[in-house]
Amino acid sequence: MSSRTNVSCLHEARRVAIFGGTHGNEMSGITLVNMWKQNSAEIERNGLLIKPFISNPKAVEKCIRYIDTDLNRAFTPENLSAPDVEGRLYEVQRAKEINRMFGPKGSSDAYDVIFDLHNTTSNMGSTLILESSTDLFNLQMVHYIKKAMAPHTCLVLLNEHPQLKYSTTRSVAKHPIGLEVGPQPQGVLRSNVFESMRTILKHALDFIEFFNSGVEFPPCTIDVFRVQERMDYPRDTNGNITAMVHPHLQDCDWEPLNRGDPMFLTFDGRTILYEGANTVYPTFINEAAYYEKQQAFTTTCREILAANAIRKAFK
Amino acid sequence: MKAVAMPTVSRVAVCGGTHGNELAGIYLVREMLKKRADGTEPVSVVTVMSNPRAAQLCVRYVETDLNRCFTRAALSAPVSETSPYEMVRSQELNALLGPKASMQAVDLLCDLHNTTANTGLCLITYSDRDWICLHICKHLQARTNTKMASTPVRYVHFDIPLNEAYSLDSVGKHGFAMEIGPQPHGVVRSVIFSAMQEGVQLMMDWICQFNSGTLFEGGWVDVYTMVKNIDYPRDSETHVITAAVHPDLQDRDFCLLHPGDPMFLCFSGETLRYRGKEALYPFFINEGAYYEKGVALSLARKRRVQIPSVRSETLR
């Protein structure tokens, strides 16, 4: 007997934004958004308002990650509710503007979906980043994208960690999705990375269009990597790093790291082993921007999330 | 070729952080500075952090590219409080390690660099007949059973007269940039660090042996001489790039590029091909710092250069 009662009915997703340049030196998103601002034919979909947007234009102009502070950490409740004051940090001011344009965060006026385009120096391949394990729309969307991208692998990172979760630019929307594609050096545009990101977005927009047209998406399961812990480099008393990511760990994002596996190599040639009790799956291994954030890599654990069937709610 | 006697290489400079986000050289210089000289070293080595302000901020440069500030004109220009930081610094480095083209200059200046391009290890210099530099290259190329064994070593030559030579390595009587890639800026990859550490060690070993009178047999070295740079295709009005380096060319530094080979993949989907008449060797393919200089890749001609045996002349 078919059950019609286990289908979650969700609102249409009518307003979608694509953010590039949240970090001004991550070139795939910047290039795509600038291209689509000039000619939006490729991203147009029936019934959808799609806005390509450069989040941090001053940083993009200088091809640096940020001017005063990381925009992708700036969307805290304190920052968003702070009064307009002279001499405020550029990115805090910018966060408030973005919240006005695409939010307010947490309200029913907020944009339905924001895709935030990022690159990493880590060997993460194509990664979709979720902030909630219970957002059915997002779970179904990433499931659709993964299937559509096959055999090209698209992995899912879930950051729901109470302390390590951060206030992202995309968190202004009802359904935030991060796209992280690497490896790519800062300030560099690699063709394969650019085209992967472009294709992921094509599939994502197709999904939204199908959903809005009434297509029902059956129940599904999604393999995710859930953020556990941030691991810093060994440092001396002055805060300088004393070791590098070990050659056996370098570029091995998403592969199991077991107790006793090499983790760091000191500048004078000594190996430091991973001592954790459980097998973990490291990611963001040797990301350039994270040296200052005390992060050599992030550990994750594997999990399977289940999502109900979804379809658009009838008016 | 007749053996050549050359002065000993008694004063060596090893410089890192000429670009403040090229981390292998920065960390190597920091490690070298930790080891105190005890006066027993056979060669006097001065280790320098060239651009400390940029290294502190982990940026290529603060106001202007330091590694373009060593032309004769730049070194003799009057400087004041309002001069760009790097213009002042280049003159300080010239006073410390030079003066360029004088008898007081260090005998050999090795300037450590990284690139986002897949170049392996390159010794980059302004001369194709500097026997010291060419022999050091041959020495590095000959090493086997070492960590460096998988890193190719090549000799790259920019045919520019000394007055117009713009980089730090031109300050020494002999000099080269030791450039290793691929490594993203702001990242240190242990394989790259180890290769650089070993490259510097092998260079020092050669210098010590040379200074103690060893005869180094001549032979042949492949020299890649820079011919021209190629920029990205750009929009004629906005000047914004309209293509990326083609996937078939990306990471294929020093693989011969033939007329008709793919060079760029436009965002529109079109492939742009190499239109030159001569097959040349591409290098510095997709170096992050060169977008602002209008360079997508450089092209070089390769030829075999014969080098003589060399031995240090012992002055009595």
| Annotated catalytic residue, options A44, A78, A91, A180 | A180
CATH domain A229-299 topology = N-terminal domain of TfIIb (2.20.25)
- The Cα A6–Cα A23 span in angstroms is 40
* Chain B nearest-CA residue for A121: B184
A91 annotated active-site: no
The amino acid present at A31, given as its one-letter code, is: T
What are the Cα distances from residue B255, in Å, to A217, A312, A313, B232, B271? 49, 54, 57, 19, 19
Q: Tokens in use for B63?
A: 């106001």
Is there a contact between B187 and B109 (Cβ–Cβ < 8 Å)? no
- The Cα A142–Cα B175 span in angstroms is 54
Question: What pLDDT sits at residue B93?
Answer: 98
- Using one digit for the tens of pLDDT, what is the confidence trace for B89-98? 999 999 999 9
Is there a contact between B188 and B24 (Cβ–Cβ < 8 Å)? yes
- What distance in Å separates residue A155's CA from the closest CA in chain B? 23
Q: Which of B62, B151, B187 to mutate to test the interface with A (most CBs of A within 10 A)?
A: B187
- Using one digit for the tens of pLDDT, what is the confidence trace for B238-297? 999 999 999 999 999 999 999 999 999 999 999 999 999 999 999 999 999 999 999 999
CATH domain A3-224+305-312 topology = Aminopeptidase (3.40.630)
- What distance in Å separates residue A172's CA from the closest CA in chain B? 30
Please give the average per-residue pLDDT across B295-316, as a whole number.
Answer: 91
B113 is in an annotated binding site: yes
CATH domain B227-300 topology = N-terminal domain of TfIIb (2.20.25)
CA-closest candidate to residue A245, choices B260, B53, B135, B27: B27
- Using one digit for the tens of pLDDT, what is the confidence trace for B107-124? 999 999 999 999 999 999
Question: What pLDDT sits at residue A85?
Answer: 82
Question: What pLDDT sits at residue A46?
Answer: 93
Chain-chain contact of A286 with B189 (C-beta, under 8 angstroms): yes
Residue ranges of the domains in chain A?
A: 3-224+305-312, 229-299
Chain-chain contact of A190 with B244 (C-beta, under 8 angstroms): yes
Q: Tokens in use for A117?
A: 């385009």
- The Cα A233–Cα A239 span in angstroms is 10
Question: What pLDDT sits at residue B145?
Answer: 58
Taking contacts as CB-CB distances below 8 angstroms, the residues of chain B near A183 are 184
Q: Is B1 on the interface with A (CB under 8 A)?
A: no
Between A5 and B313, residue with greater pLDDT: B313
The amino acid present at B58, given as its one-letter code, is: C
> Using CB atoms, which residue from A187, A189, A268 is nearest to B185?
A187
| Cis bond upstream, residue A57 (ω within 30) | no
- The Cα A89–Cα B25 span in angstroms is 33
* Architecture of domain B4-223+306-312 in this structure: 3-Layer(aba) Sandwich (3.40)
Tens digit of pLDDT at every position of chain A (315 positions): 445 568 999 999 999 999 999 999 999 999 999 999 999 999 999 999 999 999 999 999 999 999 999 999 999 999 999 888 877 899 999 999 999 999 999 999 999 999 999 999 999 999 999 999 999 999 999 999 999 999 999 999 999 988 877 899 999 999 999 999 999 999 999 999 999 999 999 999 999 999 999 999 999 999 999 999 999 999 999 999 999 999 999 999 999 999 999 999 999 999 999 999 999 999 999 999 999 999 999 999 999 999 999 999 986
CA-closest candidate to residue B105, choices B33, B15, B167, B12: B12
* Chain B nearest-CA residue for A42: B268
Radius of gyration over every alpha carbon of chain B, rounded to an integer in angstroms: 20
How far the first Cα of chain A sits from its last, in Å, is 27
- Using one digit for the tens of pLDDT, what is the confidence trace for B139-150? 999 986 566 668
- What distance in Å separates residue B309's CA from the closest CA in chain A? 35
Question: What pLDDT sits at residue B148?
Answer: 61
> How many CA atoms lie less than 13 Å away from B316 in the CB half-sphere?
0
* Chain A nearest-CA residue for B56: A240
Residues of B designated catalytic: 179
ipTM value > 0.90? yes
In this prediction, residue B316 has a pLDDT band, given cuts at 50, 70 and 90, of: very low
> What is the DSSP secondary-structure string of A187-247?
T---HHHHHHHHHHHHHHHHHHHHHHTTPPBPPEEEEEEEEEEEEPPPB-TTS-B-EEE-T
Between B34 and A220, residue with greater pLDDT: A220
Residue ranges of the domains in chain B?
A: 4-223+306-312, 227-300
What is the 3 state secondary structure string of A101-138? HHCCCCCCCCCCEEEEEEECCCCCEEEEEECCCCCHHH
pTM above 0.80, yes or no: yes
Looking at the predicted structure, is the pLDDT value of residue B164 above 60?
yes
Strand partners of residue B180: B114, B121
* Strand B281-283 relative to strand A113-119, pairing: unpaired
Question: What pLDDT sits at residue A210?
Answer: 97
Chain-chain contact of B59 with A191 (C-beta, under 8 angstroms): no
- The Cα B162–Cα B166 span in angstroms is 8
Strand partners of residue B304: B222
- Using one digit for the tens of pLDDT, what is the confidence trace for B209-237? 999 999 999 999 999 999 999 999 999 99
